[in-house]
Amino acid sequence: MFASTLSRAAVVAAARAPDADASIASRRAAVAAGALAVALAPRGARARGLPTLECANELVVGARGLAFCDAVVGDGATPTASSVIKAHYVGRLESGRAFDSSYERGAPLQFKPSQVIQGWGLGICGDGDAIPAMRVGGKRRLVIPPELGYGARGAGGAIPPNATLYFDVELVAVA
């Protein structure tokens, strides 16, 4: 399998390759392979006690490098850019270490898409192309490249610079 023959660092490096010869398709494949490598990581490498979504289908990668797969397709309302959204989530680094979780706090996060990283807004509200909006009741895995996350600045001590982020998101409500 592709993901088992490449190191995670090589997959992420290929996804970020800035040279003109690196095609968008190869970067998308590298992001998808990196997510697969995390999904296949030994259970001990993951945060214990937090939910981990398992997708039956392959990751779909949008034009901007954001990847997703739906573990559960909801049947409720869909959010827009102006919606107030409630979502449970677990955020992980490439290593599988959880850096944040609404489940640990016991309450879903409430936010507008403009208040969160761009990858979240596109991953939940849709990108108008390959990534459809989630529906309430849905559960989605998001693989967010650094450019749609915290980029070169990182986020405090929790998220290093240029980190690819892995989120399992459960859309609870839309208002």
Active site residues: 89, 99-100, 117, 150, 167
- The identity of residue 43, as a single letter, is R
At residue 138, φ and ψ (nearest 5 deg) are -80, 155
Q: Are 66 and 123 in contact (CB under 8 A)?
A: yes
What's the longest Cα–Cα distance across the chain? 46
Q: Is 152 helix (H, G, I), strand (E, B) or coil?
A: helix
- Looking up tokens 């990751």, which residue turns up? 59
Q: How far apart are CA 82 and CA 49, in angstroms?
A: 33
Helices (H) and strands (E) in the chain, counts: 5, 7
Nearest 10 degrees: Cα torsion 61, 66, 67, 68: -120
Q: Are 161 and 129 in contact (CB under 8 A)?
A: no
